Amino acid sequence: MPDSRYWNPHTETLPLDRLEALQERKLRDLLDWTFARAPWQARRLREGGVEPLSVQTLADLRRIPFLTRADWMAAQEADPPYGPVLTQPPEAAIRYHTTSGTSGGRPLAVLDGAKDWEWIAEMWCYAFWGFGVRPVDTVFFAFGYGTFVGFWGAQYACEKLGALVLPGGNMSTEARVRMLADCDATVVCSTPTYALRMAQEARRLGIDLPGSAVQRLILSGEPAGSIPATKALIEAQWGAKAGDTAGMTELGTVMMFECDHQPGGAHIIEDHYVEEVVDPATGEAVGYGELGERVVTSFGRGFIPVLRYRTGDLVCRVSADRCSCGRGFDVYDGGIRGRADDMKVIRGTNVYPGAVEAIVRRVATWRSSRCACTPPTASATRSRCRWSSPSAATTCWPSSAASWPRRTRACGSAFGAPRRAACRASS
Amino acid sequence: MGRDGRAEGDVMDDSFEISAAETELLDVYERLHAILAEHGEELPPFAQRNAIKALAALWQVANGLGRQPGQVYDVGA
């Protein structure tokens, strides 16, 4: 009998040499397909000196030029609505989706065929199964079901693996909380922030979430799912285990998931992707344990081949043996740590919103926070950390960005547990 | 270099063992693909579209078993 701990016991437990051999064969197939059917991508590759036979192994991957969001977006704007990236005519597609639009720019539009859409659900199956979701489960989706791809693939994954799906679209938070409690949902899918919001609403309604049927939360859409303090807060307020996932519309689905051993990070689905981690400034590979930018090559979606896409996600890759689950898939320690374009240099120190959240969430009584960084001005030349609440406000003047964590904790103590906090920094 | 230290051009065998039942599923995938390629347009809508949906699902099996199922857009999947 196959080991039912894994969605695909063949590939999830492959030894490293076999896993890399599988990736290499898929990489060669992807190159063949791209050169045959994706002229825009093929031209970019040729301009970078890459020919079909010049990429045979993972070591050759570095020869492929990076693809950036700006490249893709410019191509789409020059040739709307999808750009010249498709391998098939649009009428061959069955799904249209867009990026979330949270970057501030125009959303990127993508198409998928029937096989691609099934693959998108397949990737979510790794995540759900790996976190312990089974056919007996009832899964509630706190999701808007719009053009943003979000949890769409996750819903189809739950149908595929045989769980009962509760679609919580177009509902108020109160209605969602009542429904998941009334229907005995055992799994809830949402963003980390919204999981906290639903818990807040449940308290207002007198609904005992820790006493409910919910056993697992599948989180996605924000780095907070792997921020220990935020995750602990969510797990405490729900009385359930929380598992992090991360995906992107450019791939159509998730590329990493946290298994039920909860190793403090997310496994890369390495039989379907090659993930590289590079220095955001130089593009050179960084080693295990070093923070860098994710670069992804996907073997899944044939409609839009994606090779060496600069994601902007900051990650810290560690070996698969970080986790005791037996998978051969490496782990992104701490999930996605932040965005390369979110980083602010304050007095010579790299500061990420996620790092601030990791500190703020340690103060148990704080329910929310806000962090704003402004560029230096003539009148504001010092780092400033301002905290406020309905009952009190104070301002700290850290001597350097490195003292932020200490100052932040000191400010929190001075407040005496404010209900709301706002953090503002300038330098 | 790969993570296990292999150099450029060092191509490895990527096959792994599968069961008899899984081999039969691969056969079903190949047969279904062939039916759709040769007779897809002759089938009534209910048969063609359900077969395409089944092929899209079986493609995941073939792919997950480490085979080379190719692309199936030619038959509508």
Contact B12 A17 (CB under 8 A): yes
pLDDT score recorded for residue B15: 72
B14 in a structural domain? no
A96 touches chain B (CB under 8 A): no
DSSP 8-state secondary structure symbol assigned to residue A408: H
A9 touches chain B (CB under 8 A): no
Contact A114 B12 (CB under 8 A): no
Nearest of A364, A363, A349, A416 to residue A389 by alpha carbon: A416
Range of weakest confidence among A253-257, A341-345, A372-376, B35-39: A372-376
Q: Collect all residues with Cβ–Cβ distance below 8 Å to B64 and sequence separation of at least 6.
A: A8, A10, A11, A122, A271
pLDDT score recorded for residue A375: 55
Q: Give A22's contacts in chain B (Cβ within 8 Å).
A: 14, 66
pLDDT score recorded for residue A13: 96
Comma-separated ranges of CATH 3.40.50.12780 domains in chain A: 1-342
Amino acid in the structure at residue A258: E
Contact B72 A22 (CB under 8 A): no
Q: In what order do the strands lie in the sheet with A421-426?
A: A369-374, A421-426, A385-388, A393-396
Distance of CA B60 to the CA centre of its chain: 7
In CATH terms, the superfamily for domain A1-342 is ANL, N-terminal domain (3.40.50.12780)
- Token pair for A149: 């791809």
- Among all chains, which residue has been given the structure tokens 């890369």? A268
Contact A10 B65 (CB under 8 A): yes
Contact A114 B2 (CB under 8 A): no
Select the residue from B6, B14, B15 to test the A interface by mutation, using most A Cβ atoms within 10 A.
Answer: B14
Residue A164 CB neighbour total at 10 angstroms: 17
Number of structural domains, chain B? 1
pLDDT tens digits, one per residue of A37-86: 999 999 999 999 999 899 999 999 999 999 999 999 999 999 999 999 99
d(CA A276, CA A284): 10
pLDDT score recorded for residue A101: 75
Is residue A418 over pLDDT 90? no
**Range of the structural domain that residue B60 is part of:** 23-75
Q: What angle do CA A102, A342, A394 make, to 5 degrees?
A: 105
pLDDT tens digits, one per residue of A155-188: 999 999 999 999 999 999 999 999 999 999 999 9
Residues found in chain B: 77
Question: Taking a C-beta distance cutoff of 8 angstroms, is the pair A187, A215 a contact?
Answer: yes
Nearest of A321, A325, A293 to residue A309 by alpha carbon: A293
Is residue A360 over pLDDT 60? yes
E strands present in chain B:
none
Q: Give B60's contacts in chain A (Cβ within 8 Å).
A: 118-119, 122
Beta pairing class for A349-351 and A344-346: antiparallel
Q: What is the mean pLDDT of chain A?
A: 87
pLDDT tens digits, one per residue of A298-310: 999 999 999 999 9
B38 in a structural domain? yes
Q: Give B14's contacts in chain A (Cβ within 8 Å).
A: 18, 21-22, 24-25
pLDDT score recorded for residue A105: 73
pLDDT band for B10, please (50, 70, 90 cuts).
Answer: low
Phi, then psi, of A338 in degrees rounded to 5: 165, -165
Residue A133 CB neighbour total at 10 angstroms: 26
pLDDT score recorded for residue A427: 26
pLDDT score recorded for residue A247: 95
Q: What mean pLDDT do residues A288-301 have? A: 97
In this structure, the dihedral spanned by the alpha carbons of residues A100, A103, A281 and A245, taken in order and rounded to 10 degrees, is -30
Judged by phi (left if over 0) then psi (alpha if -120 to 50, else beta), residue A328 lies in: alpha
Higher pLDDT, A370 or A239: A239
Q: Collect all residues with Cβ–Cβ distance below 8 Å to A239 and sequence separation of at least 6.
A: A209, A210, A211, A212, A214
Burial class from Cβ neighbours inside 10 Å (0-12, 13-18, 19+) for residue A235 reads middle
pLDDT tens digits, one per residue of A233-287: 999 999 999 999 999 999 999 999 999 999 999 999 999 999 999 999 999 999 9
Q: Collect all residues with Cβ–Cβ distance below 8 Å to A204 and sequence separation of at least 6.
A: none
SS3 content of chain B, % helix, strand, coil (to 5): 60, 0, 40
- Among all chains, which residue has been given the structure tokens 């039989």? A271
Is residue A290 over pLDDT 80? yes
Contact B64 A11 (CB under 8 A): yes
Of residues A18, A88, A113, nearest to B16 (C-beta): A18
Residue A66 CB neighbour total at 10 angstroms: 16
Is residue A425 over pLDDT 50? no
DSSP 8-state secondary structure symbol assigned to residue A65: P
pLDDT band for B13, please (50, 70, 90 cuts).
Answer: low
Contact B59 A118 (CB under 8 A): yes
Q: Give A59's contacts in chain B (Cβ within 8 Å).
A: 1-2, 6-10
Question: Taking a C-beta distance cutoff of 8 angstroms, is the pair A122, A157 a contact?
Answer: yes
Is residue A374 over pLDDT 70? no
Of residues B10, B57, B66, nearest to A57 (C-beta): B10
Question: Taking a C-beta distance cutoff of 8 angstroms, is the pair A260, A131 a contact?
Answer: yes
Is residue A413 over pLDDT 60? no
Chain B residues bordering chain A (beta-carbon distance below 8 Å): 1-4, 6-14, 16, 18, 52-53, 55-57, 59-60, 63-66, 68, 71-73, 76-77
